[in-house]
Amino acid sequence: MANLIVFIVYFIVVLSIALYTYRFNRTHADYILGGRQLSGPVTAMGVGASDMSSWLMYALPGAVYLMGLNQIWLPLGILLGAYVNWSLVAKRLRVYTEVANDSLTIPAYFDNRFHDRRHILRLIIALVIICFFTVYCAAGFVAASMLFMLGFNLEYTTGLLICGALILGYTLIGGFMGVNRIDLLQGALMFIALLLVPLVGLHSLGGWQSTWQQLELADPYYLNAFSGITGLGIVSFLSWGLGYLGQPHLLVRFMAAKNVHALTIAKRICLSWVTILLICAVVIGLVGHVWFFEQPLVNPETIFLVLAKELFNQWWIALLFAAVLSAIFSTAAAQMLVSSSSLAEDGYRAFFRPQASERELLWVCRLAVCVITLMAMWLAVEPSSRILDLIAYAWSGIGAAFGPSIILSLFWRDMTRNGALTGIIVGAVTVLVWYQASAIFPQIPLFGLYAILPGFVLGMLGVMLGSRIGEKPTKQMLADFDRYQQIFRQTRV
């Protein structure tokens, strides 16, 4: 009963925020980018909550619970990647997307940055986004359905249907501004949940020192960050950070900030929030290993939820479940918006209805949200799908495809459309081939390397080589780049 009451209250609040922001969605530009009016705190929580999703609540604690501190390299790579993204990309992308004909989406930014009149680059990018983000959304649906199974004793399929309906409902109504306002609430819930569970868990086990001693007695190698992992494994974990440079659902939050000064505030808030939550997620895994040492969990990825049930009364458990739901919903909603905007802005408008009215495009965006939701739910029908596997696949594909082109487009004046196109295709194809090769040749150690690293490296080479082939940058492209550099330098004064 407590779960149901808290869930109803949570959803009423979420829906109220979505309804409040509905009146601001007058055009499709408002619906997909919020009119570039996000404040620093809203931007920070938008980036943080839409990034730290089900993998933070499920996958990371589960991996530490099962394997030990040799999993610490993953959050270290994530934290490093987040820092680089905020430091090198955030402000530059905010400035350049406005200079590049006020681009509303990542595909539109590339289209305008390289003056691609045939929109080939725009189409390829939109297809890659839709392909990988649908898989990413499916990971969120799997996680949410597992939550409904544990919290409400529902069948997996029933939970999946409820999850899809709820996310679809508030995303359709609130649009980009609504999703970001809701992320403020969801970020706060995530923070409370991930702070409470390890603190109460440590207290129940007699404190940090007692917990550490019990872990050492259980397995002296469990607390060794270098035990049971190869150099290739460490590099793979650290390379997760490369994915940040190319994730459209995070990059659009930079584009939507009201100005670059808001991004300075957002950077401090977001990185502090992320650091604390990553530490808490690791500690949850450690506490869970002691707590369930004699009776190991069948599914390690449920460690957060099961531990919460052991430590708290029903009302606190209900609040913690709502926090997990918040983490899942925030990412899924952000990715659905990015995918739907690609369908509407970069597909429908660019190729079929260039003269479409703002109202028409707004409803096409909403229809596209429905299509993406149904596709993701179809992929999530199989309940045995491992959340971390789905996320790892989508994260590497998106990061390797767009990361090299994003970073070089902001720093390299002579980059061309051919370079961007080559880098995106090479990065995405490398990830796809790498996953297939690792399944066919598991005995070859090299294929144990996380696919984003070879994909990113080859994608970077593709951009450089492709930019040397064919047409050189036009005078207008060079003038736009110089104007962007000048504006960016002025913002630093």
Amino acid 55 reads W
> What DSSP state is assigned to residue 257?
B
Q: What is the pLDDT of residue 364?
A: 79
- Rounded to the nearest 10 degrees, what angle do helices 387-411 and 106-113 cross at? 30
Q: Is residue 411 part of a domain?
A: no
Amino acid 67 reads M
Per-residue pLDDT of the chain (493 residues; tens, 9 = 90+): 677 787 788 778 878 877 777 776 676 666 666 677 788 888 888 788 777 766 787 788 988 998 989 999 999 999 999 999 999 999 999 999 999 988 888 888 998 999 887 778 888 888 888 777 777 777 778 777 877 777 777 788 888 888 888 888 777 777 777 777 777 777 888 888 889 999 999 999 888 989 898 888 888 788 899 988 888 999 999 998 998 898 888 888 899 888 889 999 999 999 999 999 999 999 999 999 989 888 888 888 788 888 888 888 888 878 877 777 777 777 777 777 777 777 777 677 667 777 777 677 777 777 887 888 888 888 777 655 555 566 777 788 889 999 999 999 999 999 999 999 999 999 999 998 998 888 888 888 888 888 999 999 999 999 999 999 888 888 999 999 999 999 998 886 5
CA distance 50 to 249: 7
| Residue burial 58-83, b: 16+ Cβ < 10 Å; e: rest | bbbbbbbbbbbbbbbbbbbbbbebbb
CA distance 108 to 114: 10
Amino acid 192 reads I
Q: Is residue 40 part of a domain?
A: yes
CA distance 431 to 428: 5
Q: Is residue 65 part of a domain?
A: yes
Q: Is residue 171 part of a domain?
A: yes
Q: What is the pLDDT of residue 398?
A: 87
Q: What is the pLDDT of residue 460?
A: 96
CA distance 409 to 405: 6
Q: What is the pLDDT of residue 350?
A: 67
Distances (CA, A) of 367 to 284, 343, 363: 40, 10, 6
CA distance 493 to 485: 13
Q: What is the pLDDT of residue 465?
A: 95
State which residues form the domain around 323: 2-242+254-379
Place of tokens 């509303």: 104
Where helices occur in 71-155 by DSSP H, the ranges are 73-84, 91-99, 106-113, 120-152
Query: Quick one: 446 exposed, middle or buried, by C-beta within 10 A (0-12, 13-18, 19+)?
Result: exposed
Q: What is the pLDDT of residue 390?
A: 67
SS3 16: helix
Amino acid 124 reads I
Q: Is residue 415 part of a domain?
A: no
Nearest to 268 by CA among 86, 8, 63: 86
Q: Is residue 124 part of a domain?
A: yes
pTM: 0.85
Domain count, the chain: 1
CA distance 226 to 358: 56
Residues in the chain: 493
Phi, psi of 38 (to 5 degrees): -75, 135
Nearest to 142 by CA among 311, 381, 352, 482: 381
Q: What is the pLDDT of residue 84?
A: 94
Interacting residues of 346 by C-beta distance below 8 A, sequence separation 6+: 105, 107, 108, 111, 119, 122, 123, 125, 126
* Cβ atoms of residues 458 and 428 within 8 Å: no
Q: Is residue 247 part of a domain?
A: no
Q: Is residue 446 part of a domain?
A: no
Domain containing residue 293: CATH number: 1.20.1730.10
CA distance 417 to 476: 13
Where helices occur in 380-474 by DSSP H, the ranges are 387-411, 417-440, 452-466
